[in-house]
Structure 1
Amino acid sequence: MTTANKKELSPEQRDELLRLLKARFEKNRNRHKNLDWADVQKKLDANPEKLWVLDDMEVTGGEPDVVGYDSKTGEYIFYDCSAESPKERRSFCYDREALELRKDNRPENNVDAAAAAMGVELLTEEQYRQLQQIGPFDLKTSSWIQTPAAIRKLGGALFCDRRYDTVFVYHNGASSYYSARGFRGSLRV
């Protein structure tokens, strides 16, 4: 529900999301060695607006989980950790410019707008490779990643996947979209 332009979960939604995140955290200890759920929950309790974002990540199929801690900023880092690219975030072209260039068969949305609406950052190539260090992701799908301005200026965009136990970085026209390509987000709390 929205209260005075502030997105908040109901107490029931909040409790259910925290239960789910804690269970995922405990089940996947390899993603966040030496981190304690109680510390993560304290951060979440102090930043309730971030729960709205995590809920959106969850609802769209991202299965967010803690993948690290930034000791410089004191923030926990969440990534979408679904085995495949989040199901409800597929078939989007890269950005608004690419969407507007498509005259026929336009996709429903674009990655930049969807990520901004959710409140997440699109993974960088480095972050995508870090994600692949904690498990095999995108074995059947692919995920758009942040694209350098020089490539985007020429009409291209980058995406990644994992095949043959190797992470591949590819390029495509930014206006392209595929049912097996989505995007993964990151959130700092």
Structure 2
Amino acid sequence: MPKKLKANERDELLGALRGRFDNNMHRHQGLKWDAVQAKLVAHPDKLWSLYEMERTGGEPDVLAHDNGEYVFFDCSAESPKGRRSVCYDRAALESRKEHLPENTAIDMAAEMGIELLSEAQYRELQKFGIVDAKTSSWIKTPADIRKLGGAIFADFRYGHIFIYHNGASSYYAVRGFRGALKV
């Protein structure tokens, strides 16, 4: 059964998204809110995913228009607060013997109906304003790295974007994940 919002939740979300859209036109030059809203209203399941992005602190906004789809990214200044202290994926969580985190980035993203940002998407996001100056975010990890037990994350320090590696089972209070959603 598809996840749907109540009318008041939908209206509140659309209001927040519109305000963010209007206040950040540099992120989506040439796009019109009415077209974005029409697409959102036509896809209630995607609205639910955006609601989850918003609820967990992601501050989603449109950053791309690709093949007729609008692409929303988490644009919060720091890694979304409601998605921190997670290891990378289920296999990493199950490999831990103690001090288990409550969830994983991959599982949470799947539950929300979004995908972790790729390295390219993370770099694209940084073009619109610095993010993760105090936190870090798990990003999609290539299969060959994950197969060896690692995962990658990114942040912005010393005026540069850094892509790092860590054991996929690691988790920290300041590391979460950012997502993308195509509508």
TM-score (norm 1): 0.96
Matching residue within 34, 37, 47 for 1:38: 34
* 1:7 and 2:3 are equivalent in the alignment: yes
- Deviation string 1:83-115 (CA, Å, 9 cap, x unpaired) is 000001000000000000101101011111110
Instruction: Kindly report which structure 2 residues correspond to 1:78-97, keeping only aligned pairs within 5 A, or say none.
Output: 78-97=72-91
SS of alignment partner, residue 7 of structure 1 = coil
Q: Which residue of 2 aligns with 1:123?
A: 117
Q: Structure 1 residue 49: deviation in Å?
A: 1.2
After alignment, is 125-134 or 41-50 more displaced? 41-50
What SS does the corresponding residue of 2:155 show, helix, strand or coil?
A: strand
Q: Provide the secondary structure at the position in 1 that maps to 2:162.
A: strand
Structure 1, unpaired ranges of 5+:
none
* Matches of 2:45 and 2:90, distance apart in 1: 26
**1:18-39 CA-partner distances (Å, limit 9, x unpaired):** 0110000000111111111011
**Percent identity, aligned pairs only?**
62
| Aligned pair partner of 1:109 in 81, 103, 106 | 103
Q: Secondary structure at the match of 1:6?
A: coil
Q: Does 1:144 align with 2:138?
A: yes
Matched, 1:57 2:53: yes
CA distance in 2, matches of 1:36, 1:167: 30
Q: CA RMSD in A?
A: 0.6
Instruction: Report the TM-score when normalising by structure 2.
Output: 0.99
The count of residues paired between Structure 1 and Structure 2 equals: 183
Superposed displacement of residue 164, structure 1? 1.3
1:33-67 superposed Cα distances (whole Å, 9 cap, x missing partner): 11110110111111111110000000001000000
Please list every run of at least 4 consecutive aligned residues from structure 1 whose deviation after the TM superposition is greater than 2 angstroms.
Answer: none
